[in-house]
Amino acid sequence: MKFFIDTANIDEIREANALGILDGVTTNPSLVAKENVSFHDRLREIAAEVTQGSISAEVISLKAEEMIEEGKQLAAIAPNITIKVPMTPDGLKAVKVFKELGIKTNVTLIFSANQALLAARAGATYVSPFLGRLDDIGHDGLALIEQIADIFAIHGIETEIIAASIRHPMHITEAALKGAHIATVPYKVLMQLFNHPLTDIGIEKFLADWNKTKEGKA
Ligand code: E4P
């Protein structure tokens, strides 16, 4: 399973990219609004940092024709921009056109296996089922990832599953086990993945032992 970072904050993106584990970035209107910057300018900054991986930029329009225009402008910013569209009939009409134009798409706000199947059949590059928001209303977000992964495997569908709305490290482990291709992860959760008390204790012990040696004292 690959890692995308779910943020529009350029410092977080730089930090995550420096770790060598980053395969892409996802943004959404709420994440961009927190930054108080021009969306297009921020996308240019992100594209200068993440030159290979996918960068999802979400359209705001709700009508297919407007989404297509908006998406074309966003896609012109950098070759690795992926257009994020909502899971609606108009969204899928736009996906079909973007596919014909060779523009990658990420269908967002997926909450059922049927929505994922529809998006895949329309030609989506990625589908984004939202784990955390399903868990919030007492549904099983991880079961949805498993269903979608099973359906895509049975039918040989190449659309990749992005586990989105990730809230904590166990979401990551479980999403990987259930067959998500990618997890898009907030910076805070990404950094939590590094932590284990035995790692900290181990480093302390190695250093303490080293300092007892002749070389450690030198
Ligand atoms: C990613 O593509 C989604 O926009 C994001 O993961 C949503 O997360 P949230 O439910 O924490 O807002």
Domain ranges of the chain: 2-217
**Ligand 1 atom nearest residue 108's Cα:** 2
pLDDT the model gives residue 215: 87
Which residues have a Cβ under 8 Å from the Cβ of 50 and sit 6 or more positions away?
Answer: 13, 17, 22, 24, 25, 80
Indicate if ligand 1 lies below 6 Å from the C-beta of 132: yes
CB 106 within 8 A of CB 124: yes
How far is ligand 1, taken at its centre, from the CA of residue 19, in Å? 22
From the list 2, 72, 84, 212, the catalytic residue is 84
pLDDT the model gives residue 148: 98
Which residues have a Cβ under 8 Å from the Cβ of 188 and sit 6 or more positions away?
Answer: none
Out of 165, 168, 172, mutate this one to test ligand 1's pocket (max ligand atoms within 8 Å of CB): namely 165
pLDDT the model gives residue 217: 81
**Is 84 part of the annotated catalytic residue set?**
yes
Per run of 10 residues, the mean pLDDT along the chain (length 218 residues) is 98 97 96 95 96 96 98 98 98 98 98 98 98 98 98 98 98 98 98 98 97 87
Domain 2-217: give its CATH architecture. Alpha-Beta Barrel (3.20)
Residue in the block written with tokens 């523009």? 103
What's the CA gap between 186 and 164, in Å, rounded?
Answer: 10
ipTM of the modeled complex: 0.98
Indicate if ligand 1 lies below 6 Å from the C-beta of 58: no
pLDDT the model gives residue 101: 98
pLDDT the model gives residue 33: 94
Q: What is the phi-psi region of residue 109: left when phi exceeds 0, alpha when psi lies from -120 to 50, beta otherwise?
A: left
pLDDT the model gives residue 31: 95
pLDDT the model gives residue 206: 97
pTM here?
0.96
Q: What is the DSSP string of 75-101?
A: HTT-TTEEEEEESSHHHHHHHHHHHHH
Indicate if ligand 1 lies below 6 Å from the C-beta of 106: no
What's the CA gap between 63 and 139, in Å, rounded?
Answer: 30
